[in-house]
A and B are shown apart, each in its own frame.
Chain A
């Protein structure tokens, strides 16, 4: 095939880039490879929709992004977590007067070391997977995948205010979980 507009040529030209993009968001080789394959194929099938207003790489990244978001959505749904009408879980962290019921402490470890620590990775993933469905979805899209807020709102069909509420809940819950299972582990008296 001499035509540069075919998935084999894209794989040669952009394969590593797209693979890294998928890996850094999915942390799983097999999955990243599957997403890459689906992306190239979708790109090939929908090539007539590519009008050339952006580079082919940008266009392929856009497709990959959607594939990843779809995957996360399916994955969370598949776990069958119920999003029962929750009372505001953040209130559990505070007394009636709005002060902390359990004082947060300073975390001493530095982010460079932590992000390379596989054990920490596991702990983080465990804590995230315990979040209720909606919180988990928005947290993964916003903070793990790194989407901007308008994209997350659009994908989850929620207002930005609702997004901020959900992220606040997710982050405080995660903070507590990480504190308990990592930062303060074993230091309890």
Chain B
């Protein structure tokens, strides 16, 4: 199929943002089953997405505002809300 890999990479990217149609899913699946390059690309994109998702939840789950930050914020709010 002409432009197969280019198109497959587009479907792989789109699949991260929208549900693919049945026909698109079949085409992508078929192509990935015969094309190692696109399989790698698909996995790379998924890994990038996964890392960004992990960074959002993992990294900062434990952090809190420090006493100093809280003090600063309360002060800033005081002066702003009274202005």
Contact surface of A with B, Cβ cutoff 8 Å? 6-8, 11, 15-16, 19-20, 23-25, 27, 33, 36-37, 40-41, 44, 90-91, 93-94, 97-100, 103-107, 111-112, 114-116, 121, 124, 142-144, 146, 149, 160, 163-164, 167-168, 171-172, 174-175, 178-179
Q: Could you say which residues of chain A place their CB within 8 Å of the CB of B40? A: 103-107
Give complex CA distance A121, B52 in Å: 10
Listed by A's residue number, 15 A-B pairs whose Cβ atoms lie within 8 Å are A11-B70, A19-B64, A19-B69, A24-B59, A37-B76, A37-B77, A93-B6, A94-B3, A98-B4, A98-B6, A112-B54, A121-B55, A146-B52, A146-B56, A164-B10
A179 touches B77 (CB 8 A): no
Minimal beta-carbon separation of B59 from chain A (angstroms):
6
Question: How distant is the Cα of A25 from the Cα of B17 in the complex, in angstroms?
Answer: 19
Known contacts A98-B5, A168-B13; A174/B51 CB under 8 A: no
- Contact of B7 with A98 in the complex, beta carbons under 8 Å: yes
* Chain B residues, CB < 8 A from A164: 10, 13-14, 17-18
A143:B49 contact, CB within 8 angstroms: yes
Number of interface residues, chain B, beta carbon within 8 A: 49
Q: Once bound together, how far apart are the Cα atoms of A37 and B49, in whole Å?
A: 30
Known contacts A37-B77, A115-B51, A175-B45, A19 near B9 by CB under 8 Å: no
B5 A99 Cβ-Cβ under 8 A: yes
A162 nearest CB across to chain B (Å): 12
Distance of A171 Cα from B38 Cα, bound (Å): 14
Quick one: which of A44, A146, A163, A172 contacts B9, CB cutoff 8 A? A172
* A15 neighbours in B (Cβ, 8 Å): 65, 70, 73
Contacts of B45 in A (CB 8 A): 171, 175
Chain A residues with CB under 8 A of B44: 104, 107, 175, 178-179
Q: Which residues of B contact A114 (CB under 8 A)?
A: 51
Q: Which residues of B (52-73) have their CB < 8 Å from a CB of A? A: 52-61, 63-65, 69-70, 72-73
